[in-house]
Structure 1
């Protein structure tokens, strides 16, 4: 049986951090492994670090169940093979941060976020084959993809699962995003998550 690790909930919290996931990958070096992802995202830098660890391992299958948004969609780009359940969604957008300080502090943070966005766009571009400029446009718009759209745009290699039941979306108030799909909002509401 293939070793499998579930990454559910926020990236960077609990066991969803680079050291814990890196330890799992190191324990299974040279062996095929599976990461099952259902996360609304989290700390962007941790998503990037996990993506690098997955790339270094080289034999990871990522399976998206429910949702892989923000930092979670970034980390799955490191997998050798990406599969998305037919009822799941992926989302890419510009990284964000909370910052407090002077006008100069805020300008500096905006510059840093622009650099992060460019770095992440290059990672999505490398994984999908799309030009960086196109990916940046999708990120700026906050682009949500169904499983079929993700496959058509090369964000995944395959769609699996023929029914639409799948796994419930990761617990989160999805109204905090710019443009969540109505299906995600309905699923979250039905599970008693987020705003009504």
Structure 2
């Protein structure tokens, strides 16, 4: 089964689901792997509280969409686990913080920074834009601080410097809760994929058997008729 960059996979047998966030976080979807909060809200509502694993490989995107996804995951009824499969940058990094179980392979990275924008206008308008950006950055800082053992001032300095964080550093700072051995992760991911594919094939087989049984019970007479 080929995985799409943005995909929600439901495993009814294991009462679990897996969400891939493998693209930009945006309110305007231009590509298959773009992720928006509206789509995610509808999908989470249909899960019925199944355990959810959110796998992330994203450079980030719009702050508003990222905050909405973070809050959707925080308020989700089931157990949420976040996994950084590659990069979790900018808005994707605080989505990663939406879980009590935050896992990172040693080969993955986080990146945190302040919100930014394009701006034009007179001096007063530009000053206001700078003030607004400070307020827009604050929720991200609050999220990082809520999980980290670093001080607020230390985190702010890291955001000011646009800091890349290794998996080992993320665990030390409290951003991650568990390191995953890369070889173990690959084996488990392959195992999960096999189980998921078997379940899908079983469902398809059951559907085909039911269809064949229906044809036996209700035969169709073939031929030309007037």
The two structures share one fold, judged by TM-score above 0.5 = yes
Counterparts of 1:22 and 1:128, CA distance in 2: 27
Match of 2:74 among 23, 30, 55: 55
Distance 1:148 1:18, change over 3 A: same
Q: Provide Cα deviations, 1:98-122, integer angstroms capped at 9, x if missing partner.
A: 1222222211110011112222111
The structure, 1 or 2, with the larger RCO (C-alpha pairs under 8 Å, 6+ apart) is 1
TM-score by length of 2: 0.68
Do structure 1's residue 159 and structure 2's residue 179 form an aligned pair? yes
RMSD (CA atoms):
2.0
Q: Who wins on radius of gyration, i.e. which is larger?
A: 2
Q: Indicate which of 114, 123, 129 corresponds to 1:103.
A: 123
Q: Secondary structure at the match of 2:143?
A: helix
- Using the TM superposition, give the Cα deviation of residue 162 of structure 1 relative to its aligned residue in structure 2, in angstroms: 3.0
| 2:167 alignment partner in structure 1 | 147
SS at match of 1:3: strand
Q: Deviations over 1:126-149 (max 9, x none)?
A: 122432222111111111111111
2:69 pairs with 1:46: no
Secondary structure of the 1:20 match is helix
Partner residue of 2:86?
Answer: 66
Name the CA distance, whole Å, in 2 between partners of 1:28 and 1:80: 19
Q: What is the TM-score normalised by the length of structure 1?
A: 0.78
Distance in structure 2 (CA, Å) of the matches to 1:118 and 1:129: 18
- CA–CA distance in structure 1, aligned partners of residues 155 and 147 of structure 2: 11
Structure-2 separation of matches of 1:82 and 1:34: 10
Partner of 2:42: 23
Structure 1 outlier segments of 4+, above 6 Å? none
Report how many aligned residue pairs link the two structures.
166
Matched position secondary structure for 2:164: strand
Work out whether residues 47 and 72 of structure 1, in 8 Å CA contact, stay in contact via their aligned partners in 2. yes
SS at match of 2:124: helix
1:138 is matched with which residue: 158, 161, 164?
158
Q: Which residue of 2 aligns with 1:175?
A: none
The separation in 1 between residues aligned to 2:128 and 2:48, in whole angstroms, is 40
Distance in 1, matches of 2:174 and 2:45, equals 28
Which of the residues 87, 90, 96 maps onto 2:110?
90
Given that 1:55 and 1:80 are in contact with CA atoms closer than 8 Å, whether structure 2 keeps it comes out as no
Q: In the alignment, what sits opposite 1:75?
A: 95
Answer yes or no: is 1:3 the counterpart of 2:17: yes
- The alpha carbon displacement at 1:80 in A equals 2.5
